[in-house]
């Protein structure tokens, strides 16, 4: 396990447009009954950031278990936002032959203002993350 990954920030992904049709489809698919954009809507962008990270370090998505996900928002996401996601590695440890990877993905808007962040725990089994 390469401990030097801790603190590393990966290339930003985006901008990603928050479109009304996509928001409505997501709300229907997740049975979201609240007002505005569901707070978990950017999970698609976050998934893209995770896949880019896994590809860069040579980890296999087939060996990933998503352990935890938390969101902390500074402001609500709104239709017509353009979001960019920047992932960094907050922690990395070995546990029972698996790599437990803590990530933080910061979402910013077109003005560069932080909209919020998502924290996730990924468990990669069957090999070492480069």
| CA–CA gap between residue 89 and residue 85 (Å, rounded) | 13
Q: Which residue is listed with tokens 């803590």? A: 102
What are the residues whose beta carbons fall under 8 Å from the beta carbon of 60, sequence distance 6 or more?
54, 124, 126, 127
pLDDT value at 129 more than 70: no
Q: Which helix (H) or strand (E) holds 41?
A: none
Q: Class assignment of domain 3-125?
A: alpha beta
Residue ranges of alpha helices (H) inside 1-130 are 20-30, 43-57
pLDDT value at 45 more than 80: yes
Would you kindly state where each structural domain of the chain is located, as residue ranges? 3-125
The 10s digit of each residue's pLDDT in 68-122 is: 899 999 999 999 999 999 999 999 988 888 889 999 999 999 999 999 999 999 9
**Would you state the pLDDT for residue 128?**
47
């Amino acid at each position: 396990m390469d401990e030097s990954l801790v603190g590393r920030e990966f290339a930003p992904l985006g901008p990603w447009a928050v479109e009304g049709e996509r928001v409505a489809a997501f709300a229907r698919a997740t049975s979201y009954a609240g007002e505005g954009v569901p707070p978990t809507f950017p999970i698609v962008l976050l998934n893209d950031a995770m896949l880019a990270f896994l590809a860069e370090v040579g980890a296999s998505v087939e060996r990933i278990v998503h352990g935890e996900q938390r969101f902390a928002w500074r402001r609500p996401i709104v239709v017509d936002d353009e979001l960019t996601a920047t992932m960094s590695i907050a922690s990395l440890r070995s546990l029972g032959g698996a790599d437990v990877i803590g990530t933080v993905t910061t979402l910013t808007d077109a003005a560069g203002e932080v909209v919020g962040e998502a924290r996730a725990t990924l468990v990669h089994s069957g090999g070492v993350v480069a």
